[in-house]
Amino acid sequence: MDKIIIEGGKPLKGEVSISGSKNATLPILAATLLTDETCILRNVPKLLDTHTMIKLLKSLGKDIEWDKDKLIIMSAGKPNPVADYKLVSTMRGSICVLGPLLTKLGEARVSLPGGCVIGVRPVDLHIKGVEALGAKVDIEAGYIIARTKRLKGTRVYLGGASGPSVLGTANIMMAATLAEGETVIECAACEPEVEDLANFLNEMGARIKGQGSPRIIIQGVRKLHGADYKISPDRIEAGTFVLLAAMARSHFVIRDIDYHQLMALEDVLSKVGVHVEADKNMVRVKPAKVIKPVSITTYPFPGFPTDLQAQYMALMTLADGVSVIRDTVFPDRFMHIAELNRMGARIRREGGSAIIEGGHELCGAPVIASDLRASAALVMAGLVARGKTEIRRVYHLDRGYENIDKKLMALGASIKREKE
């Protein structure tokens, strides 16, 4: 297992390019199960989660190979409807194979998924959706077992306790592509990653409209074909680097970014005192001389992303005053508080909120990453802290950030990776 060692306080400058979206790549990979024809995906990030999904698809009957900057997915014989526990248990996104397997093969046996420990993430909306489409579903020995002769279009409401489900919307949308008739998903997730998936499915011959809005309409078709598609940039990686530039008070350039997807972040940063200049697919961050404390609440898109909550908390540790962060999407996603406090931050939790008393110097310390986005927050803190920071369990970081240590080194950071 690796650890990352950072010597803080080094000035950052230069340029960084954003990789393809992890949260779009995983369901798009799952969508290739809907066809027997070859699919080509470009701008696929080389991440631990991507490799896990590739292993899963291979176990389900796909032959996959990297060819320079593209991924080629081909059929390799009779498909397998069983998504095994050993692979699914390590990654939440693997639940996305449920819809494609069920609608294509008429059956699916998918292990209940794992992933980051950031709070309860039930699969009830996935089950509700496929049952509404006509599947018979049972839970046995830790597996979701679903069967159908052919799914039939319907109206399904996918609002949950914390708002729409991104993976639930993706799963039901994929299942509906080969269903008989029309399916309408109400309270659908509006995230850009759902829109990216829908655009890929349409390239395969699906008939989907309304993606990016709370109502998605799918006209079922008999068959889908192969497609050649480019994955969009990762808005969460982009937001992480924007927040890093603000925190490190650095003037580096971020390329391959769609900043329009980060309007909530842009709005908050303008109140913090950080100015961001966007020009096509590039941004320049002009940090604030004094970081103002601004409280936020996370919401589903287009609200402030829960996936940037930890990184924003790291920034607020340097703010001149008190700020409050409330996470309505994952109210228990605060395991990074204790680790940031080890570095000199003053943060306390009250229910579903974190209260940050900013303005205290951060100092390097040995810390442990609890999840993917917490890892990024600790890296950010380490880069601006006085002294050395050692971050353990960085496999979380490798799940969602492609070559982040190399990208940071190119910006001038003193960062290295070692075996624990």
- Per-residue pLDDT, 121: 47
Instruction: Give the Cα separation of 405 and 51 in Å (integer).
Output: 19
Q: What is the pLDDT of residue 137?
A: 94
Residue 116: its pLDDT value, please? 41
Give the predicted TM-score (pTM) of the model: 0.94
Active site residues: 116
Are 2-19+233-419 and 22-230 the same fold in CATH? yes
Per the prediction, the chain carries an average pLDDT of: 94
Buried b (16+ CB within 10 A) or exposed e, 307-343: bbbbbbbbbbbbbeeebebbbbbbbebbbbbebbebb
Residues in the chain where the model's pLDDT stays below 50:
115-121
Structural class in CATH, domain 2-19+233-419: alpha beta
344-379 burial, b for 16+ CB within 10 Å, e for fewer?
A: bbebeeeebebbbbbbeebbbbebbbbbbbbbbbbb
DSSP 79-142: ---EE-HHHHTT-GGGGGGHHHHHHHHSEEEEEPP----SS----HHHHHHHHHTT-EEEEETT
Q: What are the pLDDT digits (tens) for 249-287?
A: 998 999 999 999 999 999 999 999 999 999 889 999 999
The two counts, helices (H) then strands (E), for the chain are 14, 26
Measuring CA to CA, how many Å separate 72 from each of 42, 225, 226, 358, 390? Answer: 9, 14, 11, 48, 38
For residue 178, give the DSSP letter. T
> Which CATH architecture best describes the domain 22-230?
Alpha-beta prism (3.65)
Q: What is the pLDDT of residue 9?
A: 94
Query: What pLDDT shows up at residue 114?
Result: 54
Q: Report residue 246: phi and psi, to 5°.
A: -65, -40
At 118 the pLDDT is: 37
Residue-range domain boundaries for the chain = 2-19+233-419, 22-230
Instruction: Measure the CA–CA gap between 345 and 309, rounded to whole angstroms.
Output: 16
> Which residues have C-beta within 8 Å of that of residue 201, sequence separation ≥ 6?
31, 34, 173, 174, 177, 208, 224
Answer whether the bond into residue 302 is a cis peptide, omega within 30°.
yes
- The token duo for 261 is 């997807």
